[in-house]
Structure 1
Amino acid sequence: CRSACARQLAPQRDHEMTSEFNAMVTILLTFQVLICRNYKGDVDMAEIDHFLPLLLQQEEEGLLSPAITRGNVHFLWIKHSNLYLVATTNKNSNAALVYAFLYKLVEVFTEYFKELEEESIQDNFVVVYELLDELMDFGFPQTTDSKILQEYITQEGNKLEVAKSKVPTTVTNAVSWRSEGIKYKKNEVFIDVIESINVLVNANGSVMSSDIVGSIKLKTMLSGMPELRLGLNDRVLFTLTGRDKGKSVAMEDVKFHQCVRLSRFENDRTISFIPPDGESELMSYRINTHVKPLIWIESVIERFSHSRVEIMVKAKGQFKKQSVANNVEIKVPVPSDADSPKFKTSTGHAKYVPEKNLVVWTIKSFPGGKEFLMRAHFGLPSVENDEKEAKPPITVKFEIPYFTVSGIQVRYMKIIEKSGYQALPWVRYITQSGDYQLRTNS
């Protein structure tokens, strides 16, 4: 299952990913087909006219499904902005592969047009058709890496220019994500281990849910065609080799970039790969564990009828004293009819954002173990609103460099290249807030 997920991040020409699945790909605006590419001709072009009525019928019945069937034709669809991207097939196709391809379409079009919406499709029909022809051939996914596509399909205004009469060798190489002949004066690899913490705390102060979502991102500036081997303190690896599991991490839902040799990882947990040039995400993972909120919030919100509302918020850094959280933003909801704001803070500054009914308390530097206080005073209208307002949670945004909650570590990075040059790997750890919410009683 992990292998399938990893491969499906970017369909390529390898054996696992070239299963035939698509007859037709269509991009629609509501009730209007914008563009359609029929790859095999075994599904009638008129079939797409049945998609939106079937979708509306499912919405009315409250039984909305990502796959809709009419007779022997299957519609597999996603929605992006105001567009529907629909793959149509009459085979028992690999649904995960179809959806991976549709999301890859969105990614490639966004790389080209910045925003994927009705106008960008209408202004670039020629480019879209050219991309659709390169992304898939007779129902088989082909080159889906936007960096490679941009080598020979370039865009100037609304015109298509073919940059080279010959398709780059990267398209037909086994290593289609990296060009040959890359040279750097100084060979370096920058590794960023970024973890986002998702936390939900109820009004009583109990942690209802928490997990860690991580990713390892690379910025590769290496000459030639190097092979890299990355070692982590992976708990499964430590178990296989009989090492102490105390400082290891159990990763779940691991997904890799297409460059990683999955068979090698499955056999001995070695992350071996030939990297793309420049920036890329090597892998992502999730750690399902109980996380103590790194920035703890206590709040008291007192509302005096027909008069005023007073808010007291206390923030405490529950991480080690040697670390510092940067650019902390604490967003506190206030009643929609509040006015005349007054603030007092022990550090940072607070401002009222009336269009969002929020007080935003900003602290540029928040050391671990410290505690800060913010008080806010708002006036209320003399006539009370009878409608009960929802009670949105307090949300917190922050970033802590040189720190990971899970304890994940890059144990080594080996760089092997036939010329034998020396290269420097640099590692940086960052912890940041994800979906970080604390509910209130008031």
Structure 2
Amino acid sequence: MAFSAIFFLDNKGQVLISRNYRGNVEMSMIENFMPLLLSKEEDGSSSPIFKKDNVYFLWSKYKNIYMVCTTKRNINISLSFAFLFKVKQIFIEYFGDLEQESIRDNFILMYELLDEIMDFGYPQITETAILQEYITQEGYKLKQGAPRPPAAVTNAVSWRSEGIKYRKNELFMDVIESINFLVNTRSTVIHSEILGQILINCCLSGMPEVSLCFNDNVLFNQNQKNVHVVDFEDLKFHSCVRLSRFESERVISFIPPDKDFELMSYRITNRVKPFLFVEANVQRFTHSRMEITVKVKGQFKESLTATDVAIIIPVPSDASSPKFGTAKGYVEWVPEESVIIWTINSIKGGKEFTMKAHVGLPSVEAEEPEGKPPIRVKFKIQYVAASGLQIKYVRIIEKSTYQAISWVRCLTKSGDFQIRI
């Protein structure tokens, strides 16, 4: 990836700030960007990449700011847009937000940052924690003493600084999985997946080496047909992970950044179960009333509990005079949203509950909309990962041989969980 220049434009196409890195593209070429954008939007063919006279414009918009890069080379597009996103995040962390006002008030600091995050068109330092070691907001000055880059810049580990110290060394790890589930009117599952992520809060001193391994029935795109296997797809790792060791040993080894970060994310489409089974039956009686019966059952171990359960049932917008009956939880009618919300604080595994609702309808039946809204389900289950993922071990090694404690928590929750009726 090698950019020629980067520009920040307002919504009228005026250049607020720019930086020329290579000098092989005329800076005046940016005048073609806004006319190209408007013409593409008019004919409905707008894209994040434009071309004009052998010059490519790669752009991204945030609020009222256009970030535009120019190049003549055939570059890695995904990496280029990842860099633009990272630049935006750096400025937001420095200025609180990225707007015309923040650019005008901080243009000297922005030039300094643009010089550090890219060198001759190549990304250099994109970790805000490292940049903040020697580029400060207050005086826009280096630290006292002879100017020199921070240790993390010259180390192999650019995402972590040396000299970090904690009184108590701990590593907190959260495995969070969201279930997306869609059931049609014939009670057939037409879409199901698990979206997972492993979040870490690192409170470790020095430069620790962390290794973790999953349970034996976890596979990573090995295409083995086994109903007891958790097959991960769309794996994405933080840049700290040693991919070579993961490929050879299936062990995730890394030197962690300080504090909070996402270690990895993944998707699973095989063996997805809903955990909460919800069934609804709707009956209309002439044009005067409607009866809705909803059943919910916990399809998980008896030792587990689903909490913060909410079942959101749509009703006609002209419904009135609701009456409810349930032995568990409480029911609320929200007329402004045309829904009934059945809330249950907790459901033990294997338990089943029923709710009945009666609503009045006008004598003149309104036209049915083209599509009825689905039932939506929300819940959380602590201490379990829906995929069956378990962390077999966590090892922390640091040259000072201090004692460290690792904590692992699992959470399964509803994502886009819908049942059509």
TM-score by length of 2: 0.86
**Identity between Structure 1 and Structure 2 (%):** 55
2:86 to 104, 116, 141: 104
Q: Equivalent residue for 1:65?
A: 47
Deviation by residue 1:232-251 (Cα, 9 ceiling, x = unmatched) = 236687999xxxx8865332
Per the TM alignment, residue 392 of structure 1 is displaced from its structure 2 partner at its CA by 2.1
Rounded Cα–Cα distance in structure 1 between residues aligned with 2:355 and 2:101: 46
RMSD: 3.2
Q: Equivalent residue for 1:317?
A: 298
Q: Equivalent residue for 1:54?
A: 36
Contact preservation (8 Å) 1:154, 1:161: yes
Give SS of 1:420's match: coil
* Residues 181-200 of structure 1 mapped to structure 2, 5 A cutoff: 181-200=163-182
Deviation by residue 1:96-138 (Cα, 9 ceiling, x = unmatched) = 1101112223333444455555665566555544443332232
Tell me the amino acid that sits aligned with residue 212 of structure 1: I
Per the TM alignment, residue 428 of structure 1 is displaced from its structure 2 partner at its CA by 1.3
Give SS of 2:194's match: strand
* Residues 116-195 of structure 1 mapped to structure 2, 5 A cutoff: 116=98, 124-155=106-137, 161-162=140-141, 164-165=143-144, 166=147, 167-195=149-177
Contact preservation (8 Å) 1:248, 1:408: no
Deviation by residue 1:59-82 (Cα, 9 ceiling, x = unmatched) = 444434332222211122334455
Q: Equivalent residue for 2:243?
A: 262
Rounded Cα–Cα distance in structure 1 between residues aligned with 2:73 and 2:262: 33
Per the TM alignment, residue 307 of structure 1 is displaced from its structure 2 partner at its CA by 4.3
Contact preservation (8 Å) 1:301, 1:311: yes
Structure 1's 38 and 129: CA in aligned 2 closer, same or farther, altered over 3 A? Answer: closer
* Residues 179-258 of structure 1 mapped to structure 2, 5 A cutoff: 179-233=161-215, 249-258=230-239
Q: Equivalent residue for 1:274?
A: 255
TM-score by length of 1: 0.82
Deviation by residue 1:201-259 (Cα, 9 ceiling, x = unmatched) = 1111111121222111111111111111111236687999xxxx886533222211111
Give SS of 2:31's match: helix
Rounded Cα–Cα distance in structure 2 between residues aligned with 1:319 and 1:44: 64
Rounded Cα–Cα distance in structure 2 between residues aligned with 1:87 and 1:196: 36
Give SS of 2:306's match: strand
Structure 1's 295 and 119: CA in aligned 2 closer, same or farther, altered over 3 A? Answer: farther
Question: Where in structure 2 are there 5+ consecutive unaligned residues?
Answer: none
Rounded Cα–Cα distance in structure 1 between residues aligned with 2:96 and 2:344: 32
> Between Structure 1 and Structure 2, whose CA radius of gyration is higher?
2
Instruction: Give the ranges of 4+ consecutive aligned residues of structure 1 lying more than 6 Å apart after TM superposition.
Output: 236-240
Deviation by residue 1:283-310 (Cα, 9 ceiling, x = unmatched) = 1122221412111221233456764444
Question: Where in structure 1 are there 5+ consecutive unaligned residues?
Answer: 1-19
Q: Does 1:300 align with 2:299?
A: no
Contact preservation (8 Å) 2:109, 2:140: no
Structure 1's 147 and 388: CA in aligned 2 closer, same or farther, altered over 3 A? Answer: same
Contact preservation (8 Å) 1:353, 1:359: yes
Give SS of 2:24's match: coil
Q: Equivalent residue for 2:348?
A: 367
Of 228-237 and 420-429, more deviation after overlay is shown by: 228-237
Give SS of 2:81's match: helix
Rounded Cα–Cα distance in structure 1 between residues aligned with 2:400 and 2:134: 29
Tell me the amino acid that sits aligned with residue 282 of structure 1: L
Contact preservation (8 Å) 2:220, 2:232: no
Structure 1's 188 and 51: CA in aligned 2 closer, same or farther, altered over 3 A? Answer: same
Q: Equivalent residue for 1:328?
A: 309
Deviation by residue 1:377-433 (Cα, 9 ceiling, x = unmatched) = 444456654473532222222221111122112111111111112212221111112
Rounded Cα–Cα distance in structure 1 between residues aligned with 2:103 and 2:217: 47
Matched residue count: 415
